[in-house]
Amino acid sequence: MDKILVGLKRVVDYNVRVRVKSDGSGVETDGVKMSINPFDEIALEEALRIKESGGASEIVVVSVGTSEAQQQLRTGLAMGADRAILITTDDAPDVLSCARALLEIVNREDPGLVIVGKQAIDDDNAQTGQMLAALWGRPQATCASKIELDGDKAIITREIDVGMERIEIDLPAVVTADLRLNEPRYVKLPDIMKAKKKPLDEIAFAELGVEAGPQIAHSSYEPPSERDKGVMVDDVQGLVTSLKDRGLL
Amino acid sequence: MSRILVIAEHDGSTLNASIAKTVACAAQIENAEIDVLVLADAAGPIAAEAASLASVSRVLTIESESNAHPLAALLAPQIVAAAQNYTHVFGPSTTFGKDLMPRVAALLGVNQISDIMSVAGSHEFKRPIYAGNVVVTLSAPADVIVVATVRTASYKAVATGNSAPIESISVDADLPTHTRFVDAQAGSSDRPDLQTAAVVVAGGRALGSVENFDLIYTLADKLGAGVGASRAAVDAGYVANELQVGQTGKIIAPDLYIAIGISGAIQHLTGIKDAGTIVAINKDEEAPIFEVADIGLAGDLFTVVPELTEALG
Ligand SMILES: Cc1cc2nc3c(=O)[nH]c(=O)nc-3n(C[C@H](O)[C@H](O)[C@H](O)COP(=O)(O)OP(=O)(O)OC[C@H]3O[C@@H](n4cnc5c(N)ncnc54)[C@H](O)[C@@H]3O)c2cc1C
Ligand SMILES: Nc1ncnc2c1ncn2[C@@H]1O[C@H](COP(=O)(O)O)[C@@H](O)[C@H]1O
């Protein structure tokens, strides 16, 4: 195929323990480490491997976000993507609008495959790939742990609750990457230098002519309820007694 | 009044346990009429199970060969057609529901709410974000249909004993041919299902090998427990992927969870927050798992676990 499009979302790094703002109006993200959503690194790695084995000729990474998402796109370029597109917007769009914006890019770029993450670890929505596939009228294969391309078709192995499932889809299609699809490569310093010269186009979200979806309002943010502090026991006998006391044995 | 359509997950013959919990969430909405939609090849026994759930008004079935396997691309247009007179469409936030419901929402032109953990009103819900570190309250617009998945670990199954009427319906929907089921490989296990087991014993990276994981199975069998694992244990190949507990695996709420050789990363903890009692066995007294454990035992699992198994007789 010609082209694979990969979605890269800028998110709070998975190692950061986020906190709710004291007034409950949102999540504290000032000065917090930001990264590519881990699942999107996996999505990009897969696209790169497909290209390296001759299955595709160009990898385009796309992000919807503030201009700061340039950093994540540059990292994507350093990993090996050929080109980047940043759809700039100051306020985080709802998922449907984001999927509609991605569809615009899909229509312009005409990729043979779109790979996104199975979920973004900030909002934990797990929706964008499926919405894009629906709007595009194309197949979706979520939670992929293996992609086998075969001409204008692909067999996708999916991680499902009872084990694994394989489905066959016609291309183009949207695939969402699960944890065990691959292990993403590390970026090397020379690649970071090279990435600076690769094209990164910015398009204003407003210019795409995307209709905003019906908005779901986020009215308040709060920390989760804490579990009560437990007890430490000294040995197995103590554990067994403690379990018996609670009526669990 | 709210009219809620719950999409049934099933394996072709039995209703998935997540549905009784999804109905429980729907039933928290005041003045709601709850219908369950079963899309299947042969809906009979599945529909009968759904009809027995308390709070269910009607069970609707759409039977066709193309519904033999749950392919979102085929199910979604049928659900959209069936959902016309409803105010809400709910599915479980299992892999099935997460795959399907966003596709339904996009076809309906609305946003979707993931992982409802509590109901504050017919259009107001709470859900966890950032791996459960934050709980956000959402209000959906009242003039469009609400499409949502329900975090099943937050709900107890509704009772059975109901006998709601079952109706076969047909819908006018164009089904694509671009997506085809090939095969499925279910992990074979006689142990209780991880998502519904009252007791779960889980092992982490510390187990170190496939063979050593037998320690976990042996203890689980003594307790009649289901078996879970951390991502590290799954990635290392000690156990199959469907045993992963956490942010990107299964979210569970057993009465008793025993974490063995698991450090307690935030991504893991979010999967067990609703467990009744959490027991942690870890040789590192500083391990974060002890911050959430109700009962902690600092020790080497290779001596503690055989001793515990022995002590259970
Ligand atoms: C995007 C993303 C999603 C993720 N999703 C999940 C998820 O869904 N579920 C999940 O579990 N993780 C998930 N993770 C991974 C998570 O961050 C941790 O890396 C993982 O949970 C660690 O697994 P572990 O506790 O088994 O291993 P480790 O963190 O290595 O902990 C091993 C523990 O065993 C103890 N130990 C060692 N030897 C012994 C012994 N002999 N006896 C007793 N104790 C011993 C150690 O003290 C240590 O605490 C995710 C990560 C990312 C980035
Ligand atoms: N703003 C965004 N920009 C680029 N890709 C995104 C964006 N939001 C979501 N995605 C992609 O969609 C996947 C699923 O995200 P979500 O539906 O938000 O959980 C992510 O892993 C990304 O690959």
B144 in contact with chain A, both atoms CB, cutoff 8 A: yes
Alpha-helical segments (H) within chain A? 38-52, 70-79, 95-109, 128-136, 189-195, 236-245
Q: How confident is the model at residue B113 (pLDDT cuts 50, 70, 90)?
A: very high
- Residue A114 counted as domain residue: yes
Residues of chain B with C-beta less than 8 angstroms from the C-beta of A145: 241
Radius of gyration of chain A (CA): 21
- In the three-class reduction of DSSP (H, G, I as helix; E, B as strand; rest coil), residue A192 is classed as helix
At residue A98, does pLDDT exceed 80? yes
pLDDT of A151 over the 80 cut = yes
Q: Which residues contact A205 (CB under 8 A, 6 or more apart)?
A: A64, A87, A88, A89, A93, A101
Q: Which residues line ligand 1 (CB under 6 A)?
A: A 14, 38, 121; B 204-206, 230-233, 244-249, 261-263, 265, 267-268, 282-284, 287, 300-302
Over 90: is that where the pLDDT of B190 sits?
Answer: no
Residue nearest to atom 30 of ligand 1 (CA): B205
Most A CBs within 10 A among B13, B103, B238, hence the mutation to make, goes to B103
- What φ, ψ does residue A29 adopt, rounded to 5°? -120, 0
| Mean pLDDT of the region B92-110 | 98
Which structural domain, as residue segments, surrounds residue B265?
199-311
> With DSSP H G I counted as helix, E B as strand and the rest as coil, what are the percentages for chain B, rounded to 5?
30, 30, 40
Closest-lying ligand 1 atom to the alpha carbon of residue B244? 9
Looking at the complex, report in whole angstroms how far the Cα of residue A48 sits from the nearest Cα belonging to chain B.
21
Element (DSSP H or E) covering residue B105: helix B95-108
By C-alpha distance, which of B199, B217, B223 is closest to B312?
A: B223
> Do B79 and B135 reside in the same domain of the chain?
yes
Query: Has residue B187 been placed in a domain?
Result: no
Query: Could you identify the atom of ligand 2 that is nearest to the CA of residue A125?
Result: 19
* pLDDT recorded at residue B53: 98
From residue B188, give the alpha-carbon distance in Å to each of B185, B210, B299. Answer: 9, 16, 32
Same domain for B7 and B153, yes or no, is: yes
Ligand nearest to the CA of B101: 2
Least confident of B62-66, B125-129, B186-190, B258-262: B186-190
Q: Which of B276, B296, B275 is nearest to B284 (CA)?
A: B296
Identity at B168, one-letter amino acid code: S
CA-based nearest distance A198→chain B, Å: 32
Distances (CA, A) of B9 to B21, B231, B239: 12, 25, 25
Q: How confident is the model at residue A137 (pLDDT cuts 50, 70, 90)?
A: very high
Same domain (yes/no): B159, B248: no
Instruction: Tell me which chain B residues have a C-beta less than 8 angstroms from the C-beta of A223.
Output: 133-135
Q: How confident is the model at residue B297 (pLDDT cuts 50, 70, 90)?
A: very high
> How do residues B223-240 score in pLDDT, each as one tens digit?
999 999 999 999 999 999
B100: which chain A residues are within 8 Å (Cβ-Cβ)? 130
How much is the average pLDDT of A94-109? 97
Q: Give backbone dihedrals phi and psi of B179, rounded to 5 degrees, phi first.
A: -130, 125
Nearest residue of A to residue B266 by CA position?
Answer: A17
B296 reaches A (C-beta below 8 A): yes
Return the pLDDT at A195.
95
Q: Give me the CATH number covering residue A165.
A: 3.40.50.620
Which B positions 254-283 lie with beta carbon below 8 A of chain A?
A: 255-256, 266-267, 273, 277-279
Predicted pLDDT at A160: 95
Q: Indicate the SS3 state at residue A131.
A: helix
Look at residues A8, A47, A219 and name the one whose alpha carbon lies nearest to residue A128: A8
Where does ligand 2 bind, in terms of residues with CB under 6 Å?
A: A 7-9, 37, 39-40, 43, 63-65, 95, 98, 116-117, 119-120, 123, 125-129
DSSP state, B158? P
CA distance B260 to B78: 45
Task: Work out the pLDDT band at B35, boundaries 50, 70, 90.
Answer: very high
Owner of token pair 């719950």: B6
Contacts by A190-197, CB closer than 8 A, 24 or more apart = A191/A78, A191/A79, A191/A80, A192/A74, A192/A78, A194/A78, A195/A74, A195/A75, A195/A77, A195/A78, A196/A74
Q: What value does the mean pLDDT take over residues A145-159?
A: 97
Q: pLDDT value at position B98?
A: 98
Higher pLDDT, A249 or A72: A72
As a whole number of angstroms, the distance between CA B310 and CA B222 comes to 9
Burial B252-275 (b: 16+ CB within 10 A, else e): bbbebbbbbbbbbbbbbbbbbbbb
Q: Kindly report the CATH number assigned to the domain that includes residue B301.
A: 3.40.50.1220
Of the residues A236, A240, A242, the best mutation for testing chain B's interface (the one with the most B CB atoms within 10 Å of its CB) is A236
User: Which chain B residues are within 8 Å of A249, Cβ to Cβ?
Assistant: 312
Set of chain A residues whose Cβ sits within 8 Å of the Cβ of B106: 96, 99, 130-132, 134-135
Asked if B90 and B6 count as a contact pair (C-beta separation under 8 A), the reply is yes
Q: What pLDDT is recorded for position B267?
A: 95
Which letter, b or e, does each residue of A46-66 get, where b requires 16 or more Cβ atoms within 10 Å of its Cβ? bbbbbbeeebbebbbbbbbbe
Phi, psi of B180 (to 5 degrees): -135, 135
The whole-angstrom separation of Cα B7 and Cα B70 is 11
Tens digits of residue pLDDT in A11-54: 999 999 899 998 999 999 889 999 999 999 999 999 999 999 99
In a domain, residue B173? The reply is no
B160 touches chain A (CB under 8 A): no
Q: Is residue A230 part of a domain?
A: no
pLDDT at residue A92, as a whole number = 87
> Total structural domains in chain B?
2
Atom 41 of ligand 1: nearest residue by CA position: B300
- The pLDDT of A54-67, averaged and rounded, is 97
Structure tokens at B267: 């991504």
Q: What is the pLDDT of residue B215?
A: 98
Q: Measuring CA to CA, which residue among A7, A47, A212 is closest to residue A130?
A: A7
Please report where in the chains the tokens 């026991």 appear, as a residue: A233
Q: Whose CA is nearest to atom 26 of ligand 1?
A: B204
The answer on pLDDT for B32 being more than 90 is yes
Average pLDDT over residues B17-36: 98
Choose the final residue of a domain: B168, B189, B210: B168
Do B231 and B163 share a domain, yes or no? Answer: no
Which among B73, B183, B199 is the nearest to A166, CB-wise? B183
CATH code assigned at B126: 3.40.50.620
pLDDT higher than 80, residue B188: no
- Of A52-56, A62-66, A91-95, B57-61, which range is least confident? A91-95
Tell me if chain A has a CB within 8 Å of the CB of B182. yes
The whole-angstrom distance between A133's CA and the closest CA on chain B is 7
DSSP three-state, residue B4? strand
As a whole number, mean pLDDT of residues A77-90 equals 97
The answer to whether B248 contacts A179, with C-beta atoms less than 8 Å apart, is yes
Residue pLDDT, tens place only, B152-184 = 999 999 999 999 999 999 999 999 999 999 999
The single residue listed with the structure tokens 């540059």 is A74
Of the candidates B264, B181, B105, which has an alpha carbon nearest to the alpha carbon of residue A126?
B105
| B128 close to B270: Cβ distance less than 8 angstroms | yes
pLDDT (0 to 100) of residue B189:
78
Burial of residue A151 (number of CB atoms within 10 Å: 0-12, 13-18, 19+): exposed
- Point out the ligand 1 atom lying closest to the alpha carbon of residue B263: 49
Q: Which residues of B touch A233 (CB under 8 A)?
A: 295-297
Look-up: residue for tokens 């009649």? B224
Per DSSP, the three-state class of A41 is helix
pLDDT digits (tens, 9 = 90+) for A238-248: 999 999 999 99
Tell me which chain B residues have a C-beta less than 8 angstroms from the C-beta of A178. 248
Residues B154 and B220 grouped into a single domain: no
Give pLDDT tens digits for A203-233: 999 999 998 889 999 989 999 998 888 999 9
Asked if residue A113 has pLDDT above 90, the reply is yes
Residue B206 is given by DSSP the state G
Q: What is the mean pLDDT of chain B?
A: 97
Q: Compute the average pLDDT of residues B1-10.
A: 97
* Total of domains in chain A: 1
Is A16 part of a structural domain of the chain? yes
Q: Quick one: pLDDT band at residue A86, thresholds 50, 70, 90?
A: very high
- In A, minimum Cα distance to B306 occurs at A236
Inter-residue contact B7 to B72 (CB < 8 Å)? no
At residue A213, the pLDDT reads 83
The pLDDT value given to residue B279: 98
Residue A26's domain spans which residues? 3-220
CA A58 to chain centre: 20
In the structure, what pLDDT confidence band is assigned to residue A2 with cuts at 50, 70 and 90? Answer: very high
Count how many Cα atoms sit within 13 Å of the Cα of residue A30 in the half-sphere of its side chain: 3
Give the ligand with the smallest distance to the CA of A131: 2
- Residue B271: which of B292, B248, B290, B296 has the closest Cα? B248
Closest atom of ligand 1 relative to the B204 alpha carbon:
26
To the nearest whole percent, how much of chain B has pLDDT over 90?
Answer: 97
